[in-house]
Amino acid sequence: MWKKIVAGTVLLLISGLWAFVKKHDTSKISAISLSNMEQKLDARVRNPIKEVDAELAQVGYTLITEGKANYKEHKGKLISSYFVCTDCHNLNREYSTLTEQSPEDKLKYTTQNNLPFLPASSFYGIYNRKQFYTKDYVKKYGELVNDARDTLENAVQLCAKYCSSGRYLEDWELSAILHYYKSTELKVGDLNLTHKELTALEHHDALSTSEKEELKKSMQSKFTQAYIATFLPAMDVNKRGYGAKGDAENGKLIYENSCLHCHDNARVTYLDLDKSKLDAQMFWKNIDNYTDKSLYQIIRYGTYPIAGRKQYMPLYPEEKMSNQQLEDLVAYIKQLAEVK
Ligand code: HEC
Ligand code: HEC
């Protein structure tokens, strides 16, 4: 008799616990693609790819990392003879949180994760971004930017042709890259939403238009909608710190993870840089002028492609390298050059 009662109680407890866990299990909603969820709350949210085609996504990955790919009857031809996308863009997350945009956080996070520190924004979460080539990029690309600002497809085309010194993509190539982006997009569960919000998302059909709008806004405040780019002029020669205001150890990280990503063994340019005293002295000799060989100049302006020489260096906006980081780099170069 007692045994039965105990067994009954235990059973009841377990099933109660199960019901509790099941009711609070938000793993299913957390696994949903962010853009699909945003679109359910607001039909105007762009979401050009509804379902990932895994084969196309793989082709997209190959295009991005190797510059060409074969697909069905299409024989791959190079997008650019000078660059692949990953010369300037990482594919992984670059900041400690999804809303962080500071270059200090980016240097720390990318260093910890063995990633280069690059002048362009990562493709991580790019499918979920709402704007491209923000703010000052219009100064560099002019009217071209107008079409590229609001749609990811146009942004990709602008970069394939102009940033890469290449050509416009064919439809299947563009589609492949979008499928790759979609395959790596953020999930609802990446956003640190509250339990209440997750539950509301599960029952979004029952929400009013204004409740949906509010929920969408809350979601969108939890990840970067656009990376802002502010162009700075070359620092005035009288305001430059010349190494006195910099942290050489930090500067070393910038030199290794950024400059050498492209210049080591002259990988994408004629200019071969390494950590020798000679190269550092070249930089030091030019540190107080406004030529391309001055760090204060080259970092803020990069170089431009010209006829017969299409490889160019992208500039670093303030959000991709702060003036303090620039001073850190100068301090490191000064140390390498063994300036007394
Ligand atoms: C030589 C450097 C370089 C190469 C190569 C390059 N890009 Fe870019 N790309 C940039 C820069 C600089 C920007 C400016 C905006 C940013 O990323 O912050 C940019 C922006 C973009 C953007 C908009 C990002 C945003 O958030 O504003 C997309 C999309 C893009 N590139 C796709 C590509 C693709 C696809 C390839 C390869 C086919 C490629 N890029 C190759 C430098 C490059
Ligand atoms: C995305 C690749 C890339 C990155 C990152 C990069 N560069 Fe460059 N850099 C280039 C290219 C390409 C050129 C153009 C030179 C050429 O025609 O081959 C160039 C040109 C230069 C020049 C001018 C050379 C001249 O003859 O006028 C200097 C100096 C320079 N880079 C220094 C740096 C420093 C310092 C960094 C790090 C802060 C850096 N680069 C990061 C690709 C890059």
Phi-psi region of 135 (alpha: psi -120 to 50; beta: other; left: phi over 0): left
Output the DSSP codes for 154-176: HHHHHIIIIITTS-PPPHHHHHH
Q: How many of the other CB atoms lie within 10 Å of CB of 306? A: 8
CA of 274 to the centre of ligand 2 (A): 12
Cβ atoms within 10 Å, residue 46: 13
Please give the pLDDT value at position 3.
77
Query: In which band, very low, low, confident or very high, does the pLDDT at 11 lie, cut at 50, 70 and 90?
Result: low
Please give the angle made by the CA atoms of 323, 325 and 327, to the nearest 5 degrees.
Answer: 70
Report the nearest atom of ligand 2 relative to the CA of 116.
5
CA angle in degrees (0–180, nearest 5) for 29-30-35? 85
Widest CA span in the chain: 95
Alpha helices (runs of H) in 116-273, residue ranges in sequence order: 137-141, 144-148, 152-158, 171-183, 195-202, 209-220, 248-254, 260-263
Confidence band for 17, pLDDT divided at 50, 70 and 90 = low
Q: Which ligand is closest to the CA of 310, given by its number?
A: 2
Distance CA 124, CA 131 (A): 14
> Does the CB atom of residue 140 touch ligand 1 within 6 A?
no
Q: Residue 258: what pLDDT?
A: 98
Ligand 1 atom closest to the CA of 268, numbered from 1: 1
Percent of the chain scoring above 70 in pLDDT: 95
Ligand 2 close to Cβ of residue 262 (< 6 A): yes
Q: Are 295 and 330 in contact (CB under 8 A)?
A: yes
Average pLDDT over residues 273-283: 97
Total residue count of the chain as it appears in this document? 340
Quickly list DSSP for 16-33. HHHHHHHHT--HHHHTSB
Distance 298 CA to ligand 2 centre (A): 8
Q: Round to whole Å and give the CA distance between 103 and 112.
A: 14
Q: What is the pTM of this model?
A: 0.93
Ligand that comes closest to the CA of residue 79: 1
Q: What integer pLDDT is reported at residue 22 of this predicted model?
A: 57
Residue from 274, 253, 263, 235 nearest 332 by CA: 253
pLDDT tens per residue, range 105-123: 999 999 999 999 999 999 9
Atom of ligand 1 nearest to the CA of 79: 38
What is residue 24's predicted lDDT score, i.e. its pLDDT?
Answer: 67
- Predicted confidence at residue 15, as pLDDT, reads 66
The torsion defined by the Cα of 260, 261, 262 and 267, in degrees rounded to 10, comes to 90
User: Residue 323 in contact with residue 235, Cβ under 8 Å?
Assistant: yes
pLDDT of residue 286 exceeding 90: yes
Alpha carbon distance 40, 215 (integer Å)? 11
Average pLDDT, the chain: 94
Stretch 279-284: mean pLDDT = 98
Which residues are within 8 A (CB) of 291 and not within 5 positions of it... i.e. 6 or more apart? 297
Radius of gyration of the chain, Cα coordinates, nearest whole angstrom: 25
